[in-house]
Amino acid sequence: MKRSLHLAPAVALLMAFWFLSVLHGSINPLFESSDEFWHIGMAIHLARGGDLPVQQPGVKTPWRQEGSQPPLYYMLLARLTRALGLPLEDYDLIYRPNPHVVPGDASQISNRNQTLHGPWEDPPWRGALFTLHLWRMISAMIAMVGVAATIAWIRLAFPMRPAWALGAGLLMALNPMFLFISASINNDVLVNALAAIALYWMFRIWRVGLRPLEMIALGITLGAAALAKLSGLLLWPLAGLMLTVRLLRDGPPGPRYLRLLIPFTIAILLCGWWFWRNWALYGDPTGLSVMLAIVGRRSASLTDLIPGMGRLPAVLLGGLRGDERGDAGGIYSVLDAFTIASAIGFLGFLWRSMRGNAPRWPWLVALGYKGLVFLGVLRWTSMTMASQGRLMFTALGPIALILWVGWEAWASRLRIPALCMAVRALPPVFLGTLALLAPPLWIAPAYRPLPLPSAEEIASLSVRTDAVFGGKIQLLGLRAGAEVVRPGQTLDLVLYFEALAPTDRPWSLFVHLLDELDIILTQHDGYPFQGLNSTQGLHPSQQWKEHVRLRIPRAAVAPTPLALAIGFYDLQTGQRFPIDSDGRGQRSGDHLRVIIGRLEPVPSEVPNPLDARFGGVIELSGYQISPRRARPGEAVRLVLYWRSLRRVAEDYTVFTHILQPPDILWGQHDKPPTPPTSRWEPGKIYVETYTLTLKPETPPGFYEVEVGLYDPETGQRLRREDGEDRVLLSRIQVLP
């Protein structure tokens, strides 16, 4: 009876986790979790009888870099699908990629979605929809096992503190980001659970000794973890160290050393074939070389990684969206404050414990594993753009334990028992509330189109038109958020449309913001309904509105009048819809041009002010460029205003390029400043002039003007705070 009462809170916690994870999985549309469409593509390939893919950089596949991942998670889903005869025949009908997606940007109000969404996704789910949602539920079950294993290993490690296991389990199970990931289709779910199970067997072996049953179970878990994701290999050195110490603790090891081979022999037998296959195919047992070639490689220093690492605590603890796009800055601040307070409380607790007789080895294991995972994430992030808190979830159990113990250390200082209990309950109550509210408040609205416009709303439009595109779509009018804007600001527009007839293919809306020379300052491209649907899904007489947010570059030249160019085009062919009538706008055959306001300069001592900082030592403060229209063979004059932020030891050279992206140069002028940068006085403005002559064969079009600094001895460019090694100024136009 006592044991059942003791288990009741843990069982209730697991049931709550199951409910919340299923809630997240049912409200978050398919394909919208981190890289979920590629994880799905890999599992479906295997479920349809395909072999493990041979990765080839540059070849487009439905699984992209996930084909380089260890395959256990995908193999489990595929085997289950084939065994149960689950349907996948209509998968290609429900997977409709959004070609204009802009993922991971919290300021975006459209094109957040990876794929198109519509009524076909509503329950009851049938066909492939049913199978994919079942896969999500299986992922949630695997994650629930991981939560249970975390509670179990913490109870083994600290048998005199059972409340720690439940408290850490609460922080883990109610974490909105962990719930979001657990209710999606990705291999993180399996390796996270296996890491918790491996820690359980390690602590059990520490308690009972190197018994065969526990050693075999640990070996199976280590092999499965390595076959689930490469981060599972981080468990191996921890297990080896822990087993060795446990062996030595029992006295002279003698022949007992051979027992250490049991778990690792089993693990190698389970997963060794995968690493041998990689070695045979790619000359790399991990397969990371080809994976990085596919996903994109970078070489980042520690200073480059620090800004991204600063986002990890709050995102790790309670990210509200799978790609950190939630508009919830205040909530993240609360989570940051809790993380800092708990870390300080834990350090105080650890100091007191180390001075006493409390057992130290459980903390060495928890902190050691957390450190190993962090170093692994740091290494991975230095090689590719992947700074996401979810990558630390293999160590979420130790992290949750540390945070709970740190918070409890503060709460235990309170003399009033009721107040102490209330303070202890604050983090799980706060996280649980977020976990419950995140699906309806943050996830669902991100994939919900704007409300349909009313007749009164359309009648009160500031700009009305009757532009008809290809006889299919009519632009009724638009409303601009402001008539006067400045560089660096955003311009919000609402465009009102009506469908006149269905289209035979998807057409993309384009909205270009033009200056007085008709140079495109910024633009928006996307499908209708904020990118959620296709023009093929429109019905005659259907009205809708598009909220368009245009970010004006800080480097835009001002003052200038602003105009919009609006139209539709076929993304595959580049063909544009012709305009049948143009209303109050100016007709230009394939787009509508409407004057909407002015761009005014930012008040400053230099023209076109910027704050582009290179290496934290030199700032490009402003610039002038003329002319902004030129012909081949003509020169463009560029005046740059530099400011030294502090003393510079090196003499850098400035490069100025007229660039056709990504890397074709049609004009260039590189030269060191006068005086050299090593003699610049901090705070003083230095003015330098550059002449960029266009090559005689330069084709007509719009070109970028890029500027930066480099060390002439090494060729190494000086990087900005955002990791870029250049700044793009105003575009120029080359005339025929």
CA distance 720 to 709: 10
Cα separation, 709 vs 724, whole angstroms? 11
Q: Are 496 and 476 in contact (CB under 8 A)?
A: yes
- Please give the Cα distance from 399 to 64 (Å, whole number): 31
Closest listed residue to residue 638, CA positions, set 709, 711, 687, 697: 687
**Same structural domain, 567 and 619:** no
Nearest to 508 by CA among 600, 557, 418, 570: 570
Whether 103 is covered by a domain: the verdict is no
pTM, two decimals, is: 0.85
Q: What residues does 734 pair with on adjacent strands?
A: 630, 701
Residue 388 falls inside a structural domain: yes
Cβ count near 46 (within 10 Å): 21
245: left (phi over 0), alpha (psi -120 to 50) or beta: alpha
Tokens 């850098």, located at residue: 652
Work out the number of other CB atoms within 10 angstroms of the CB of residue 231. 25
The encoded tokens of residue 593 equal: 């041009």
For tokens 């049953």, the residue is: 213
Say if residue 578 is in the same domain as residue 476. Answer: yes
Between CA 723 and CA 335 the distance in angstroms is 26
pLDDT for res 308? 52
Clarify whether residues 501 and 628 are in a common domain. Answer: no
Asked if the structure places residue 450 within a domain, the reply is: no
Return d(Cα 314, Cα 343) in angstroms, integer: 13
How many helices (H) and strands (E) would you count in the chain? 21, 21
Residue type (1 letter), 430: F
Instruction: Give the Cα-Cα-Cα angle 325, 327, 332 (nearest 5 degrees).
Output: 90
The ranges of the chain with pLDDT < 70 are: 1-6, 104-106, 251-256, 298-329, 356-358, 385-389, 581-588
Q: How far apart are the first and last CA of the chain?
A: 89
Q: Decide if 642 contacts 675 (C-beta within 8 A).
A: no
Whether 543 maps to a domain, the answer reads yes
Q: Which residues pair with 151 in a beta bridge?
A: none
Residue carrying structure tokens 């609402």? 494
Task: Tell me the residue range of the domain where 557 lies.
Answer: 455-599
- Looking at 599, 622, 638, which one is the last position of a domain? 599
**In the 8-state DSSP scheme, what is residue 45?**
H
pLDDT of residue 256: 67
Tell whether 112 is covered by a domain.
no
What is the rounded average pLDDT for all residues in the chain? 88
> For residue 11, what is the enclosing H or E element?
helix 2-27
Clarify whether residues 570 and 683 are in a common domain.
no
Q: Are 210 and 247 in contact (CB under 8 A)?
A: yes
Contact indicator for 608, 557 with CB cutoff of 8 Å = yes
| Domain end among 553, 575, 599 | 599
Please check whether residue 113 lies inside any domain of the structure: no
Q: Distance between CA atoms of 141 and 146, rounded to whole angstroms?
A: 9
Q: How far apart are alpha carbons 499 and 468 in whole angstroms?
A: 10
Residue-wise pLDDT for 81-92, tens only, equals 999 999 999 998
38, 115 Cβ separation under 8 angstroms: no
The residues near 563 (Cβ < 8 Å, ≥ 6 apart) are 513, 514, 518, 593, 594, 595, 596
Task: Tell me the CATH number at 500.
Answer: 2.60.40.770
Contact 602, 484 (CB under 8 A): no
Looking at the fold, whether 331 and 421 belong to one and the same domain comes out as yes
The one-letter amino acid code at 710 reads: Y
Q: How much is the pLDDT for 585?
A: 45
Looking up tokens 């049609």 gives 666
605: in domain: no
- Is 378 in the same domain as 476? no
- The three-state secondary structure class of 486 is coil
**How many other C-beta atoms can be found within 10 angstroms of the C-beta atom of residue 571?**
15
pLDDT for residue 201: 96
Instruction: Let me know whether 616 and 566 are in one domain.
Output: no
**Contact, 643 vs 621, CB < 8 A?**
yes
| Count of domains observed in the chain | 3
CA angle, corner 645, sides to 643 and 651, nearest 5?
75
Q: Are 581 and 621 in a shared domain? A: no
Q: Give the position of tokens 């704007």.
A: 450
Per-residue pLDDT, 192 = 96
Is residue 527 within 8 Å of 100, Cβ to Cβ? yes
114-142 burial, b for 16+ CB within 10 Å, e for fewer? Answer: bbbbeeeeeeebebbbebbbbbbebbbbb
| Cα–Cα distance for residue pair 701/688, rounded to 1 Å | 27
Among 442, 470, 496, where does a domain finish?
Answer: 442
Length reported for the chain: 736
Q: Do residues 601 and 558 lie in contact, with contact meaning Cβ atoms separated by under 8 Å?
A: yes
Report the distance separating Cα 521 and Cα 488, nearest Å: 11
Comparing CA positions, the residue from 655, 661, 658, 662 lying closest to residue 640 is 655
How big is the chain by its Cα radius of gyration, in Å?
A: 30
Inside any domain, residue 390? yes
Whether 529 and 580 map to the same domain: the answer is yes
pLDDT at position 41 is: 95
Instruction: Please tell me whether residues 462 and 550 are part of one structural domain.
Output: yes
Same domain, 401 and 534: no
The 3-state DSSP class for residue 655 equals strand
187 lies in the same domain as 295: yes
φ/ψ of 358, rounded to 5, equals: -65, 145
